[in-house]
């Protein structure tokens, strides 16, 4: 005897009644819509021209209809990328078949057969319906699709207005990063890139090797202590001519120029002109530049850079504390960034393989399903539709880990460049220590000469020679004192600039870029998930239908 489940009949009746009520509501809704359309067509035929009010109502209805089919909402501007997760969640509910509430007035009107047929057609969308919907919804989705997107986001992060010059970590904004390009690497005994850009004299273009970039940065670092000099990729002795390596190196060399163009201290300098407009051997051209000494650096800081001296001793101590604190932070953050980079690198290849294997997997699954159904060679099989859909999705799938990896390498280079800036400021203090040591040594030598004590060096010297030695020592001591005073002032100015300008703005920019990058990576992953979800949702609905047909 069959055992009945308590309440089974009652629950089934309730579910059946709810379903019938919902279907009836849809019939009534579509009946009302069809009647309204018929009435409007009738009015339009009887009235050759509608008045302005009717046209306004018609346009309003069109806009309302357009809004009712808007599933996803994105808010994108030049400064930020905001993703409306609330709309996304609502859309996912709709996609998975949970109907949105429909308001209608109760009317005892039976839908016509035409309306019933239309409802039935609406319930059976085409096989590629979901994919086409995704194409429309994701058409304007701001996904990072190449390295230029990251590059643009980084370089224009603080460009609040294209007509205004903003201030960055490195100085006053001087030019448009889009005007600087490094492209077309030509292999030979040496690899040469085509470089395009602008300096203070106008546009320039020519062939440059990696060593030209390397020499330029070393020259700038030595002659501009305390100034943030954008990084370049390190040298690589082996496997440095592969296409992949040259492409990545060219990207970071271009990034170097695009960051450099924002630094007025660099673009307007004689050092940069040696790179942009070379006139011979680089080493020989360097000899034409003024010698780097204390007076040269002080004049550059005060007159060219317009840096000010910090007179308050308390402020000087606070500046040193900021620099020391951030030096410790750099030592802590660098291993973390390198660890993330090492984790991301293998994920790039894995994601590429996963994206490319997706249609192959679906093809094998459909072949397996055909074999089970006992109809592997049927021309009526819908498997080709799924395979084509999978191929379409595979072409649209992104790999955001590629951009994430490049961003991480750039951040590591930038942190190392900031470390170089802090070290250049510290070298000024070490120079003071060396000068003080030389001053003490010379003063001790002068004391011996004045005391008339005999030594092996002075035993056979004439009195005139001893007087000349005394005079030389006095001049050297005076020079040491003068240089020490200048370097102390240089150190003061440099530490103030690093602590008040470079470090705070570096932290601010990197924080904003980090949040923006994570948003872009998230949108890329959401893009992939939604494409896959639309496909699996379609496949799941067809499996349920096939299973139901098999039971019947």
Q: Is the same domain home to 184 and 112?
A: no
Residues 549 and 406 in one domain: yes
CATH code at position 176 = 3.30.1520.10
Within this chain, do residues 370 and 408 fall inside the same structural domain, yes or no?
yes
- Which of 192, 228, 198, 187 minimizes the C-alpha distance to 211? 192
pLDDT band at 545 (very low <50, low <70, confident <90, very high): confident
Confidence tier at 33 by pLDDT (50, 70, 90): low
- Per mean pLDDT, which range of 74-78, 122-126, 317-321, 495-499 is the poorest? 74-78
> Are residues 345 and 256 part of one domain?
no
How confident is the model at residue 214, as a pLDDT?
Answer: 95
The answer to the question of residue 432 being in a domain is yes
And the tokens for 280? 């011979």
- Total structural domains within the chain: 3
Q: Distance between CA 170 and CA 126 in Å, rounded?
A: 56
Average pLDDT over residues 16-35: 55
206 & 278 share domain: yes
pLDDT winner (highest mean) among 270-279, 363-372, 385-394: 270-279
**CA gap 313, 217 in Å, rounded:** 33
Residue 137, in any domain of the structure: no
More confident residue, 54 or 245: 245
Q: What is the mean pLDDT of the chain?
A: 73
Domain assignment present for 534: yes
0.85 surpassed by pTM: no
pLDDT of residue 504 exceeding 90, the answer is: yes
pLDDT at 535 over 70: yes
Helices (H) and strands (E) in the chain, counts: 17, 7
The H or E element spanning position 203 is strand 202-209
**Long-range Cβ contact pairs of 301-307 (< 8 A, separation 24 or more):** 301/490, 301/493, 301/494, 302/493, 304/265, 305/227, 305/265, 305/497, 307/493, 307/494, 307/496, 307/497
Which residues span the domain enclosing 86?
24-37+80-124
Does the pLDDT at position 230 exceed 90?
yes
- For residue 141, is it within any domain? no
Percent of the chain that is helix, strand, coil (3-state, to 5) = 70, 5, 25
Of residues 267 and 154, more confidently modeled: 267
Residue 360 sits in the same domain as residue 281: no
Considering the domain architecture, whether residues 256 and 352 belong to the same structural domain is answered as no
Alpha carbon distances (Å) from 201 to 162, 204, 303: 22, 9, 21
Token representation of residue 6:
């308590």
Which CATH number fits the domain that encloses residue 339? 1.20.1270.60
pLDDT at 99 over 70: no
Q: Which residues, other chains included, contact 407 with Cβ-Cβ below 8 Å and sequence gap of 6+?
A: 150, 517
Q: Percentage of residues in the chain with pLDDT exceeding 90?
A: 34
pLDDT in the model for residue 72: 26
Task: State yes or no: pLDDT of 356 exceeds 50.
Answer: yes
In this structure, is residue 537 part of a structural domain? yes
pLDDT digits (tens, 9 = 90+) for 233-259: 999 888 788 999 999 999 999 999 999
Helices (H), 128-187: 129-137, 147-155
Q: 274 and 208 in one domain?
A: yes
Residue 179 sits in the same domain as residue 109: no
Coil vs helix vs strand at 185:
strand
Supply the pLDDT for residue 415: 96
For residue 70, the model assigns a pLDDT of 29
Residues 91 and 182 in one domain: no
């Amino acid at each position: 005897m069959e055992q009945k489940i308590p309440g089974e009949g009652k629950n089934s009746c309730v579910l059946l009644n709810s379903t019938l009520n919902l279907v009836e509501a849809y019939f009534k809704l579509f009946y009302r819509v069809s009647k309204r359309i018929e009435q409007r067509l009738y009015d339009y035929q009887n009235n050759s021209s509608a008045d302005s009010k009717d046209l306004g109502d018609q346009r309003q209805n069109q806009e309302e209809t357009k809004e009712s089919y808007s599933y996803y909402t994105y808010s994108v501007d030049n400064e930020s990328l905001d993703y409306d997760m609330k709309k996304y969640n609502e859309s996912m509910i709709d996609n998975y078949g949970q109907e949105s509430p429909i308001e209608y007035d109760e009317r005892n009107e039976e839908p016509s057969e035409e309306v019933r047929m239309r409802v039935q057609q609406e319930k059976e969308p085409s096989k590629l319906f979901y994919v086409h919907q995704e194409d429309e919804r994701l058409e304007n989705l701001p996904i990072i699709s190449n390295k230029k997107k990251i590059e643009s986001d980084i370089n224009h992060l603080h460009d609040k207005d294209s007509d205004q010059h903003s201030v960055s970590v490195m100085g006053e904004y001087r030019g448009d990063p889009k005007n600087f390009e490094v492209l077309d690497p030509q292999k030979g005994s040496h690899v040469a890139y085509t470089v395009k850009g602008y300096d203070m004299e106008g546009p320039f273009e020519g062939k440059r090797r990696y060593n030209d970039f390397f020499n330029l940065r070393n020259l700038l670092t030595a002659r501009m202590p305390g100034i943030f000099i954008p990084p370049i990729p390190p040298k690589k002795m082996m496997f440095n001519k592969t296409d992949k390596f040259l492409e990545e190196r060219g990207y970071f060399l271009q990034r170097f120029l695009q960051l450099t163009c924002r630094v007025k201290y660099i673009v307007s300098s004689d050092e940069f002109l040696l790179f942009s407009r070379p006139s011979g051997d680089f080493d020989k051209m360097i000899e034409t530049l003024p010698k780097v000494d204390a007076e040269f650096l002080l004049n550059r800081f005060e007159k060219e850079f317009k840096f000010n001296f910090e007179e308050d001793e308390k402020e000087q101590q606070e500046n040193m504390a900021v620099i020391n604190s951030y030096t410790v932070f750099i030592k802590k953050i660098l291993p973390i960034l390198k660890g993330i980079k090492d984790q991301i690198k293998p994920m790039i290849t894995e994601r590429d393989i996963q994206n490319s294997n997706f249609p192959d997997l679906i093809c094998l699954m459909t072949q397996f399903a055909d074999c089970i159904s006992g109809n592997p060679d049927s021309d009526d099989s819908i498997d080709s539709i799924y395979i084509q859909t999978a191929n379409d999705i595979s072409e649209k799938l992104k790999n955001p880990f590629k951009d994430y990896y490049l961003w991480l390498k750039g951040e590591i280079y930038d942190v190392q460049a900031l470390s170089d800036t802090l070290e250049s400021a510290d070298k000024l203090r070490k120079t003071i220590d060396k000068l003080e040591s030389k001053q003490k040594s010379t003063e001790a030598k002068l004391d011996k000469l004045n005391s008339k004590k005999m030594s092996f060096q002075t035993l056979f010297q004439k009195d005139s020679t001893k007087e000349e030695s005394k005079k030389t020592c006095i001049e050297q001591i005076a020079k040491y004192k003068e240089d020490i005073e200048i370097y102390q002032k240089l150190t003061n100015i440099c530490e103030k600039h690093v602590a008040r300008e470079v470090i705070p703005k570096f932290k601010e920019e990197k924080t904003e870029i980090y949040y923006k990058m994570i948003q872009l990576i998230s949108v890329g992953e959401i893009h992939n998930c939604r494409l896959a979800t639309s496909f699996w949702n379609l496949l799941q609905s067809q499996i349920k239908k096939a299973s139901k047909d098999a039971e019947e």
